[in-house]
Structure 1
Amino acid sequence: MSPRGHASSRGLEKQSTRPRRASQTSRRRKYHVLESTIHAHASRLYKTYFLEAILRQKPLKPSKDGRHVPLQLGHHREPLVDERRGNPYISNVIRTSRYTIYDFVPKQLIFQFTRLSNAYFLAIGIPQTVPGLSTTGTYTTIVPLFFFVALTILKEGYDDFKRHRLDKIENARATTVLRRRALDAISNAARWPWSRKEPQVITVDVDPDCDDKDDDYAWVQIEWRDVKVGDIVKLRRDDPVPADIILLHATGENGIAYIDTMDLDGETNLKSRESLGNFKDCYSIAGLRSTAAEFVSEDPNPDLYHYDGRVNTNGKTFPLTSNQVIYRGSTIRNTSCVIGVVINTGEECKIRMNANQHPDAKKPALETMANKIVLTLVFYVIVLTAGCSAGYVMWRAATERKSWYISNATVQLKQIIIGYAIQYNNIVPLSLYVTLELTRIGQLLLLNGDIEMYDEVSDTPARCNTNTILENLGQVSYVFSDKTGTLTDNAMKFRKLSIAGTSWLHEMDLSENQASNKQAADAHKLSPSKSKSDDASSALYEDIELFSIASPNTATFPLSRRSSQWRSTARPNNLQSELTTSELLEYIRLRPASYFATRARDYILCLALCHTCLPEMRDGQLEYQSSSPDELALVQAASELGYLVTHRSSQSVTLRIGLEDGKEQTETYQILDVIEV
């Protein structure tokens, strides 16, 4: 055949494969559509017949106009009613545990016997207890199985008991709300002696921003579980937020409060929330009493980044956005006092609606592999049982009927099949699962007793809350990291800067002992003969040290050669002769009018201004709240170089700058724009 013929045949072959691939793609698409349809129907049937009909858990219909929360003080004579339920709003109690006293045993039995290995041993163990069927003993399988299942259930119960204990601690945390004194006295007098303690009036330090003096109302301290929708809460710096609140007042500049949402969304940067502009009198109890308003909030939903609501006050309506709402899971930072009204409580808070309300019991990755082995062994047992049963039938037809002494002792076929299945039951080792469970318990004890795994900063020892998936610790196949610090300490240190082509080593934060130890180690590691790379490095840094730093109208000023050397942690074998920032400050002091000194001061000024760090005084020391460790390292380096950030607001930054003559001056810079990252 000619080459043209071969080419044409190949072209026909390629054309014929295209419809085949198209048909395969179409079949896959139809399969996925069918799978999604079946899953949707199964989910609908589960919700309709199981959740709604049996468990009576009907989905709530949306409210007509959102939930209305009036601004009221103290105990409400009539509790606020949830329009969707027709009952009062749910309490602020949360539950992260998986089981209760009533459903623990049924749920655990269902979970344990839906596992492939336990289901197999149960299917073998039940016929084994029937008299006349077992060929290996009556309780040789069911008793070890019950021991293994009971051990696992007790372990799961203990783990869930620890979750209950943590929930109890969380619900018993204290917060401050506004209550009426007379109603508190009446409720205290009418209480039974054995009832739980009601909120007690506490003495709160009066500050000029949050006036607390009033004869009828007082701030009382209650547990988080007693917080209700409509309560007015008062929070201080570093206080966690007990529920979703609308910000009424904050002592920050222009009514701005700073919050930390790391527990809510994992972000470490501080976020700002702005109080309502028409509630400027809410800093005192008298102002709260004179303010009449009604908040209309959206129905509870898990969206953390969107909020839709409004407030009606003095015949006017103003919008509410997520900029005026602080969610549970946040922490107040850099703000001395915050006052807000509660709109969502308990399981209807954003953080709880984003949590998995009914988490499935965890299964280790090793169990998947064990299930494959069990399926293989079960198939092997089935083949042996079928083969031996068929062999017996053939033997019985050939031999048993011809023997007069066993002709009337025929065994039924179902008994033969069950007998062989029980006989070959030991092929699947039950002792393997018991050994694995005991090994997990041993690993838990070893991990909790590891003294070396202890964090002194947070005073936290190593603790294993559940050993169900403990063996997954040694089975990590892939590690995904979004940035530096996810798996490390994330401690940022400012070490080098480059100005006009010259690099400077910043080591002011190192102690004298560390510096002396580093120099001694460098001297000890120096070899008597220099290599070619050391010569090249010395020549390179000699060129940098002889860099001409000059004003446009003055002569050059060569830098003197340094005798000290520096070894980088990234390249420890590369010994470098470095200029330090101490010498940089000395040069700026000696030649303040030079061109290089001007550029160096501008560089350090940019370090001190271009950030979002918030300074605050704690125990007589100035500390910074930063959005990231990178910003904190830059601001600390600027302060060590003489440019100290003393105050920052939404509109200006105040610096205290050290001058060349040893004096200090204060400068204020206006913030023109903040570029969000």
Structure 2
Amino acid sequence: MAGGRIRRRLHLNNIYAFTCRKSTFQEDHSQIGGPGFSRVVYCNEPNSPAAERRSYAGNYVRSTKYTPASFVPKTLFEQFRRVANFYFLVTGILSLTPLSPYGPVSALLPLGLVIAASMRQDIEVNNRKVKVHGGDDGMFREEEWRDLRVGDVVRVEKDEFFPADLLLLSSSYEDSVCYVETMNLDGETNLKVKQGLEATSSRLHEDSDFKEFKAVVRCEDPNADLYTFVGTLHLEEQRLPLSVQQLLLRDSKLRNTEYVYGAVVFTGHDTKVIQNSTDPPSKRSRIERKMDKIIYMMFGVVFLMSFIGSIIFGIETREDRVRNIERTDRWYLKPDDAEIFFDPERAPMAAIYHFLTAVMLYSYFIPISLYVSIEIVKVLQSIFINNDILMYYEETDKPAHARTSNLNEELGMVDTVLSDKTGTLTCNSMEFIKCSIAGTAYGRGVTEVERSMAMRSGGSVLADDDVVDRSGPKIKGFNFQDERVMKGNWVKEREAAVLQKFFRLLAVCHTAIPETDEATGTVSYEAESPDEAAFVVAAREFGFEFFSRTQNGISIRELDLGTGQKVERFVFFCYLCGFLEVKEMNIPLFCNRVYRLLNVLEFNSTRKRMSVIVRDEDGKILLLSKGADNVMFERLAKDGRKFEEKTREHVNEYADAGLRTLILAYRELDENEYVKFSKNFNEAKSSVTEDRQSLIDEITDQMERDLILLGATAVEDKLQNGVPDCIDKLAQAGIKIWVLTGDKMETSINIGQGTFVMFACSLLRQEMKQIIINLETPNIKALEKAGEKDVIEQASRESVVKQMEEGKSLITTGPSGTDSHDHEAFALIIDGKSLTYALEDDFKNKFLDLATGCASVICCRSSPKQKALVTRLVKSGTGKTTLAIGDGANDVGMLQEADIGVGISGVEGMQAVMSSDIAIAQFRYLERLLLVHGHWCYSRISSMICYFFYKNITFGVTLFLYEAYTSFSAQPAYNDWFLSLFNVFFSSLPVIALGVFDQDVSARFCYKFPLLYQEGVQNLLFSWKRIIGWMFNGLISALAIFFICKQSQEHQLYNPNGKTAGRDILAGTMYTCVVWVVNLQMVLAISYFTWVQHIVIWGSVALWYIFLMIYGAITPTFSTDAYKVFLEALAPAPSYWLTTLLVMIFALVPYFVFKSVQMRYFPGYHQMIQWIRHEGQSNDPEFVEMVRQRSIRTTTVGSTARRAASVRRSGRFHDQLNKNTIAISREEK
């Protein structure tokens, strides 16, 4: 038995209502993600004929990617989508045939290491136990999760996971509330509040109550949306609407609640968490895509070499003449069991076979370990990012977190940053600072933007303390000072009745949850948004204290207008029906006045407003509403606009001060009107169709009209620390900054200006020309009053296009008709309505052309869908790397559309973080993430890939040259194990160390010279010129190795019987030279040495000698021609050591000479920085400024970068470069 239920006492610190987490990228945040609404669940009747006909999925879940049957085909498909891996599969198969020039182990072993994977086990999850209702006997028995069926009623105990998606029926609390931890779903540690319907919780108290329980649920089909649920519960004669508030998701955990009862709605692979398990399309970096092109090019080289070799081999084979009956001229090449390979009578066939053999032999031109090495390097790079103490936010204990390592190098190539504002640039910690009530402005506080404006105009900077004396401690969410309304003085105001309605609306119109500290009696609030929390706190400070909430109502201590004393009022909730079904409750009150809350009309990004319907103590029905000014003013009644003009003025003033504003209004409803609305509203909520939300929106839209204006609120959201400096540094780095915000235009503009004025940097500067595109023109306003929708739409479209064309003309020719490109910087500001037309297919390229010509772009009143579409346009239209950064659920679409999505782990939940590629706690960390880690990762990966192809070309060309000197006989120059281990042990570790530890420029100089970042934006370090240069360097090294080794060993004796050097001697010498050369080349290429690099470079060389001794000591049947070759032939011979030395000199001198000339006369930007560091000029302001001003290219970003880009190197600096031979700097970190 369940035992007695307990009366819940709310202790809700860090608890959020789950309903505030909305799905994203859909403009109205309400559409269902599934295909339909056909699911029918027979609660507590899973064996009924009707339920069995439905045949829903079982609850067994396979989270493993592979099964025993699918392991091989799935593994092969996943791995061999990469063309290089497919190539090695083909060569590996061919190595099993007599055509192979080497044994199959040397070909298949590396491939096996690359594609090896382990299978995960699901036995533990599927065999977990849960209590399931047995049916007629009313008993609950333990069953395994895998055996659950749709319709089963289960009982879940405290700290247990939910075994399927459940409909919450009741809990151990009387009001059917339970607390859920969803870390496994969305990464959030805050508990979520879920609440069952009163119709089920009132009758289902304990186990035995389920004996006769029957109900039917009609709901949406399985889908991946974690934040919506649409359904209806048919219980006896009632149709009750269901929402996500009643849905308990699989893999979330029950917390702080003894038990809950739930009906299984979705099982197994139909559950939302499994529906979400499909990974989003993987993002690939530009370098990786370019690397594919290089590999294709190398394929072409391999096939060309194989083709040339096979043609020559075929000709040589055809001309091979038989000297006698026993043998041919090349008898030593003829295998006994494969005569056709060298048969002069069938030369064309021999050439074809030779081609296949050569393709296998030259496969070492394609570095099979490249993919693995890059993955290892990226993972290690991510670890360094995650553990960077300078990106750790102690206040919330949040370090940086690279959620994927695929895009590390992309961090160094970002051209455009698209940022949300609220919670991303700002703290998202709202403070109620001003308000306008009945046409009178209240609040004497000074905002950051107002201080900035005072500084800009040269006036005195006022602090809040200069305006009014503060008393008492600072209150979170409340920074309001005005003696006219504080401490109950508002009752003396001329419009005191309006003020009372205003404050009462703040106290009632919300969905916040109070928590009372038992020790102090202090009430705090948890709300869906910081704005709403600030409003409730403000209402309390004005004398309207919301202090308690139950399932049925909320209690308010209210300052009475007549007496000036506080009284308690009880606001009664009626979720399910109209006022006629509300019953009186015997609750002790200080005053017998009751406000019954009849309906909540919820906020979403399309409606941009939220309303409640209440019945007051006189029986009047009131609709209380708050929302954005652009939707609220148009909903005012003709007789409700008494204070409109003044309120508009105040709202604009608040926006100019960088404040977020909302309009508060109300209206009285008559009984018949509400009865009709209640019926229609409940029918819409109970419908289970695709147009359910549109029906609800249509009904609520009709109700929220003819409002009476009360006033406006103004809350301040301060900038995060370090944001202005970060924005300025990114602008100096040549990165364009776009802000996509839901705020109104004036607020966005002045927040941008405030950033500059206070900290000498910003998105908008005083000298910038602002191009503002909106639909606030007299012509459009006149048409809006006429109400002709089609005419308004066409005129709006034409107006936006005209404004874009004028803006482009202004950028191109300047206001006076002269070329202004080199003189002025422009900023584009566009509102959401205009953006709708600008993003249409016919005009989006025109909009992009205008925007990319501006230093800064601010899109105001942007919906989540518009944010994603703008991001997609910039990414596809410019072809450059884009980075989106945001903190809220409405930013998810933008983060997923961008090349790189950065989530801010702030106060808006974890949806943005869970959808991001990298998570940081503060916007200012973006500076270090891009300018330091981004540049390092880009430089390291670029150098690593170039070096990889260099060493493989060096190795592969020696094979080709040996082939050419052996009549293209397809015989490998090296032993099988020599071939296999080159990329695994003797050259790979130094490359990995290069990719993890190298620093061409230290972090300090990355900050000091931010324009260095443009090397990545322009992809200078991974250009075709640099790639081909490294390949050519590999060719030079291979030529030096082969010809010096061949010539030096041609007449050397290595045996007392007079035997000259054979294949084993030549191969051992060449291989030694290859190992030395490629590792010494690494020494020359590294900019920053650590002890790790010393170990892996010299260790790789030492490992070759150790291997040669151990391998040579093994029996000849295994070591073949390498048997004792080092100890008995190579090591004792002076020519071997002298040849190695000569090869190192002749192979590396060309690179050294080229590098010296290049650094002397054509230095790259990072090399110039290395020079001033090497020469000790890093503290010389003149030299530093010269380097800082050297332009990589002309940019069109912020003013600082634009002016820096126009300055070239001075004569003195150029002379200094010519006087010094610049070695590569080994910088200290």
TM exceeding 0.5:
yes
Residue pair 2:158, 2:259 contacting (<8 A) in 1 also: yes
Quote the residue 1:243 is aligned against.
164
Quote the residue 1:512 is aligned against.
none
Larger displacement relative to structure 2 (488-497 or 461-470): 461-470
Residue pair 1:605, 1:638 contacting (<8 A) in 2 also: yes
Quote the residue 1:665 is aligned against.
567
Quote the residue 1:593 is aligned against.
492
- Is 1:614 the counterpart of 2:614 in the alignment? no
Unmatched 5+ residue regions in structure 1? 1-61, 184-215, 508-517, 546-558, 565-578
- Is 1:94 the counterpart of 2:61 in the alignment? yes
1:304-343 matches, within 5 Å, as 311=234, 319=239, 322-323=242-243, 326-329=247-250, 339-343=261-265
Q: CA deviation at 1:303?
A: 7.8
Cα 1:363–1:312 shift into 2, 3 Å: closer
Distance in 2 separating the partners of 1:221 and 1:662:
60
Quote the residue 2:380 is aligned against.
442
Q: CA deviation at 1:377?
A: 1.4
Cα 1:239–1:420 shift into 2, 3 Å: closer
Quote the residue 1:120 is aligned against.
87
Quote the residue 2:458 is aligned against.
534
Distance in 2 separating the partners of 1:626 and 1:591:
26
Q: CA deviation at 1:649?
A: 6.0
Quote the residue 1:288 is aligned against.
210
Residue pair 2:433, 2:481 contacting (<8 A) in 1 also: no
Cα 1:627–1:303 shift into 2, 3 Å: same
Secondary structure of 1:504's match?
coil
> Match of 2:366, as an amino acid?
V
- Is 1:505 the counterpart of 2:451 in the alignment? no
Secondary structure of 1:535's match?
coil
Quote the residue 2:352 is aligned against.
414
Secondary structure of 2:458's match?
helix
Identify the match of residue 292 of structure 2 among 349, 371, 381: 371
Distance in 1 separating the partners of 2:230 and 2:469:
62
Distance in 2 separating the partners of 1:469 and 1:501:
50
Q: How many pairs are equivalent?
A: 503
The CA deviation string for residues 149-182 of structure 1, in whole angstroms up to 9 with x for no partner, is 425524xx3xx64xx58x95x66888666579xx
Identify the match of residue 311 of structure 2 among 376, 380, 390: 390
Identify the match of residue 493 of structure 1 among 417, 430, 454: 430
Cα 1:473–1:171 shift into 2, 3 Å: farther
Secondary structure of 1:377's match?
helix
Q: CA deviation at 1:612?
A: 1.8
Residue pair 1:237, 1:332 contacting (<8 A) in 2 also: yes
Distance in 1 separating the partners of 2:88 and 2:509:
67
Q: CA deviation at 1:451?
A: 6.4
Distance in 2 separating the partners of 1:498 and 1:312:
47
Cα 1:179–1:461 shift into 2, 3 Å: farther
Cα 1:622–1:381 shift into 2, 3 Å: same
Distance in 1 separating the partners of 2:445 and 2:258:
39
> Match of 2:210, as an amino acid?
L
Distance in 2 separating the partners of 1:672 and 1:82:
39
Cα 1:148–1:583 shift into 2, 3 Å: farther
- Is 1:584 the counterpart of 2:510 in the alignment? no
Q: CA deviation at 1:597?
A: 6.8
Distance in 2 separating the partners of 1:532 and 1:117:
60
> Match of 1:150, as an amino acid?
L
Cα 1:223–1:425 shift into 2, 3 Å: closer
1:154-165 matches, within 5 Å, as 154=117, 157=118, 161=120
Q: CA deviation at 1:245?
A: 3.3
Residue pair 2:130, 2:142 contacting (<8 A) in 1 also: yes
Q: CA deviation at 1:274?
A: 5.9
TM-score (norm 1): 0.56
Distance in 2 separating the partners of 1:65 and 1:451:
50
Residue pair 2:422, 2:428 contacting (<8 A) in 1 also: no
Q: CA deviation at 1:494?
A: 1.0
> Match of 1:385, as an amino acid?
S
- Is 1:638 the counterpart of 2:575 in the alignment? no
The CA deviation string for residues 604-624 of structure 1, in whole angstroms up to 9 with x for no partner, is 443322222133457666453
Cα 1:662–1:144 shift into 2, 3 Å: farther
The CA deviation string for residues 283-303 of structure 1, in whole angstroms up to 9 with x for no partner, is 3445433x3535376796338
1:34-49 matches, within 5 Å, as none
Cα 1:617–1:147 shift into 2, 3 Å: farther
Q: CA deviation at 1:127?
A: 3.6
> Match of 2:537, as an amino acid?
Q
Identify the match of residue 426 of structure 1 among 364, 385, 391: 364
Q: CA deviation at 1:664?
A: 3.9
Cα 1:217–1:232 shift into 2, 3 Å: same
Distance in 2 separating the partners of 1:483 and 1:331:
33
Q: CA deviation at 1:378?
A: 0.8
Q: CA deviation at 1:635?
A: 1.9
Residue pair 1:497, 1:506 contacting (<8 A) in 2 also: no
Residue pair 1:311, 1:320 contacting (<8 A) in 2 also: yes
Q: CA deviation at 1:645?
A: 0.9
Distance in 1 separating the partners of 2:139 and 2:85:
60
> Match of 1:147, as an amino acid?
P
Query: Comparing both structures, which one devotes a greater share of its residues to helix?
Result: 2
The CA deviation string for residues 55-81 of structure 1, in whole angstroms up to 9 with x for no partner, is xxxxxxx9x995644459xxx9x9998
Q: CA deviation at 1:666?
A: 1.9
Residue pair 2:443, 2:480 contacting (<8 A) in 1 also: no
Cα 1:488–1:346 shift into 2, 3 Å: farther
1:182-197 matches, within 5 Å, as none
Unmatched 5+ residue regions in structure 2? 1-35, 332-341, 471-477, 571-594, 604-1229
Cα 1:595–1:237 shift into 2, 3 Å: farther
Quote the residue 2:1100 is aligned against.
none
Identify the match of residue 484 of structure 1 among 418, 422, 443: 422
Distance in 2 separating the partners of 1:350 and 1:430:
39
Cα 1:67–1:272 shift into 2, 3 Å: closer
Quote the residue 1:45 is aligned against.
none
Distance in 2 separating the partners of 1:580 and 1:326:
38
Cα 1:460–1:368 shift into 2, 3 Å: same
- Aligned CA-pair RMSD: 5.8
- Is 1:655 the counterpart of 2:556 in the alignment? yes
Q: CA deviation at 1:662?
A: 10
Cα 1:483–1:535 shift into 2, 3 Å: closer
Distance in 1 separating the partners of 2:40 and 2:496:
62
> Match of 1:124, as an amino acid?
T
